[in-house]
Structure 1
Amino acid sequence: METHPAPATGTRMASEIAEQPTAARRTLDHLVPEQPRLRDLARGRRRVLLVARGSSDNAAIYGRYLLEVVAGVPAALAAPSVATHYRARLDLSDTVVVSVSQSGATTEIVETQQWARACGAATVGVTNVAGSPLAEAADVALVTQAGPEVAVPATKTYLTQMVALAVLADALSDGSALAADLARVPDAVAGLLEVDVSAAASELAAADRVVVSGRGLLLGTALETALKMEETCLRPVRGYSYADLRHGPISVVSEGLLAVLVGAAHGPLAEPMVDLVRDLQGRGARVLGLGGTPSFTDVCDLHLPGPDLRETVEPIASIVPAQLMIEQMARRMGLDPDNPRGLNKVTQTDVTSSTTHERSPR
């Protein structure tokens, strides 16, 4: 595949990636005081249902794991079409419904939040736009402080959505389970802005076939990495959980495939990723690793460092090297990462819309 030297960076996407340490700090400062309201709202409710699309969906996947692992609250991802098309009536009186949308104006998400309230749910809106329909209608609005995002691919809005969901999980835990670790996130993000991604970007730009995989709390990071490659580089890329890749799709791994694996530096799922690297390499694939343990780093063909954070907050920062890599990958392919073909900032699902299409069947 033909590639081009990456022109000097000056894209809006690169600029907004660089704003993320400040955006994370502002968001923490703004949202942590909302934790007492979140605890009051959730009192007596036993479940959390997350509603999202696109990049927000990947943030919600992180939120789901975090709510269950840290707060001990059963959580699931909603199927918005149950509300907007099937118009089912559910008893959500024991549920907090968390709707995630960077614009707060995606019609499907706003309508699903309205449906959830009509079904008895308490509602939390996570959005980057104060005064948006989602924020105005929610019982508690968690308005992230990313500032205006001009580039079409979500970077700082995605990262601050994860911060917001971590603040929520911390609020619903028995104590301040994440407070100290969350305070370290902005500096960890700042440190990762210095990672040299040029070799990884070159290899990706030249690859004919790419898959991305991650596991557990880092699954959302892997799926967001795959989505960003599709959106920004116009390349079909499959994102898999570790388990899904092992069951069936691994049979198509062969010479010429580049596998991007997102590993955890700590936690119970860190070391098993080493076995997956060796398995993929044995089938002829090259492996680009993001983050992970020292043994994971050693066996990968290429590697980008991740943050030195506990697994529970690691995903917030681990997306940064991937964002940098994809921005440079697009430029090496002669593409404009700020304005991917056929996309804009407000995601709608209906095929009659001129905006992005639904990326999952939920």
Structure 2
Amino acid sequence: MAREIAEQPAALARTLQALRPQRAELQKLAADRRVVLFVARGSSDNAAIYGRYLLEVHAGRASGLAAPSVATHYQASIDLSEALVVCVSQSGETEEIVETQAWAAGRGARTVAVTNDGASSLANAADVALVTQAGTELAVPATKSYTAQLAAMAVLAGSLAPEPDALDADLDRVPDEADRLISARAGVDAAAEKLASTAEALVSGRGIAFGTALEAALKLEETCLRPVRGLSYADLRHGPIAVVDSDHVALLVSASDGPMVPGMTDLAHDLRRRGAAATIGIGGDNGFADAVDIAVPGPDLPELVAPLALIVPAQLIVETLARQLGLNPDAPRGLSKVTQTDPA
């Protein structure tokens, strides 16, 4: 896992370079489509959440997450003739996702596959395949394949935006920012030590960074075997915040700018007032860093592209924590690289 975290800057650069030439093809494919639907599971679903927000906020395209069971279990009859359906799977062989893509195409959708394997079933059946360039990923927890998917989402959203190259200058800075965070490891050891002190943790973020928060929570669960709740701060405030007590460590994730920073900063103050054991903040601005107990710097990137590197400190924390707990971060118990949702 540590080696593959370190390989992310190069994987991000390769993926952006490889996928940008497909912009015109994506524009043509989506030209008469009114809505974009994402189909994914696990880490890929968290990447899709970023894609959904970016398409709506940056490209002005109505987007949403589709439930694969609507296709695989209910075989619902839905008119998708105005939809672009984007199916996301690292392996391209998760049967549920492959089946849902075929179902969508049969109901009039045009399809895009986002996968790390250009020879996969998903890629071969799609109208357009965005093949990420993460290279072979051996550790079970997704790291470089996940951030490469985020790069694909940025290319997709940019392709459907009024100015397709508007994000390019900031995206070009992503590999160097990821590399800087990997080299510096600022706050990583302190954050891992604090998380090791309790089994009670929650993770929160919102907006463009929400998918990053959910991915951090997933990594803590699957790699460190800790029960973790990942919630937007809006949902957290609507009831679940009542469980916060002196046993809870809260991991808060924020971009360095954008409309969600004030709310995340206020949440940090609120959690402290409620007696949380500690708050760990990844990213944010100076006010956010001052509001948390342990500040872990994030990337110097604007909100729209920050998630491509914002997850890196969380990955480093998780890998460090797993080793502190005596666990193997490369092969969490009971998991495999290609996940099938339902038994054969």
TM-score of the superposed pair, with normalisation by structure 1? 0.93
Aligned residues of 1:271 and 1:293 also touching (Cα < 8 A): no
Aligned residues of 1:289 and 1:297 also touching (Cα < 8 A): yes
Partner of 1:171: 159
2:216 to 200, 222, 225: 225
Partner of 1:244: 235
Partner of 1:181: 170
1:154 aligned partner, one-letter code: A
Distance 1:182 1:347 in 2: 30
Aligned residues of 1:70 and 1:177 also touching (Cα < 8 A): no
Q: Deviations over 1:303-342 (max 9, x none)?
A: 1000000100001100000000100100000000000000
Correspondence 1:334 to 2:323: no
Distance 2:83 2:263 in 1: 34
Correspondence 1:110 to 2:98: yes
Distance 2:300 2:130 in 1: 27
Correspondence 1:17 to 2:5: yes
SS at match of 1:331: helix
Q: Deviations over 1:73-110 (max 9, x none)?
A: 00000000000000001111111000000000000000
State the superposition RMSD in angstroms: 0.7
2:254 to 246, 255, 263: 263
Aligned residues of 1:226 and 1:239 also touching (Cα < 8 A): yes
Aligned residues of 1:290 and 1:304 also touching (Cα < 8 A): yes
1:305 aligned partner, one-letter code: P
| Greater mean deviation of Cα atoms: 127-136 or 178-187 | 178-187
Partner of 2:148: 160
Partner of 2:270: 279
Distance 2:194 2:179 in 1: 25
Give, in angstroms, the shift of residue 299 of structure 1.
1.4
Give, in angstroms, the shift of residue 272 of structure 1.
1.6
1:191 to 164, 174, 180: 180
Give, in angstroms, the shift of residue 183 of structure 1.
1.0
Distance 2:263 2:197 in 1: 28
SS at match of 2:310: helix
Give, in angstroms, the shift of residue 177 of structure 1.
2.3
Correspondence 1:56 to 2:34: no
Partner of 1:88: 76
Aligned residues of 1:261 and 1:290 also touching (Cα < 8 A): yes
Correspondence 1:209 to 2:200: yes
Distance 1:208 1:51 in 2: 32
Distance 1:252 1:134 in 2: 42
Aligned residues of 2:116 and 2:132 also touching (Cα < 8 A): yes
Structure 2 alignment gaps of length 5 or more: none
Give, in angstroms, the shift of residue 218 of structure 1.
0.3
Partner of 2:338: 346
Structure 1 alignment gaps of length 5 or more: 1-12, 354-362
Q: Deviations over 1:9-45 (max 9, x none)?
A: xxxx000000000000000110000111000100111
Partner of 2:281: 289
Q: How does 1:295-314 map to 2 (within 5 A)?
A: 295-314=287-306
Give, in angstroms, the shift of residue 291 of structure 1.
0.3
1:150 to 102, 123, 138: 138
SS at match of 1:338: coil
Distance 1:150 1:89 in 2: 39
SS at match of 1:307: coil
Give, in angstroms, the shift of residue 208 of structure 1.
2.3
Distance 1:331 1:308 in 2: 28
2:195 aligned partner, one-letter code: L
1:185 aligned partner, one-letter code: V
Distance 1:228 1:309 in 2: 23
Aligned residues of 2:92 and 2:123 also touching (Cα < 8 A): yes
2:305 aligned partner, one-letter code: V
SS at match of 2:327: coil
Aligned residues of 1:185 and 1:317 also touching (Cα < 8 A): yes
* Stretches (4+) displaced over 3 A: none
Give, in angstroms, the shift of residue 238 of structure 1.
0.6
2:159 aligned partner, one-letter code: A
Correspondence 1:316 to 2:308: yes
Aligned residues of 1:89 and 1:119 also touching (Cα < 8 A): yes
1:231 aligned partner, one-letter code: E
TM-score of the superposed pair, with normalisation by structure 2? 0.98
Aligned residues of 1:209 and 1:258 also touching (Cα < 8 A): yes
1:52 aligned partner, one-letter code: A
Give, in angstroms, the shift of residue 348 of structure 1.
1.2
Pairs aligned (count): 340
Q: Deviations over 1:262-299 (max 9, x none)?
A: 01211111122111011101111110000001000011
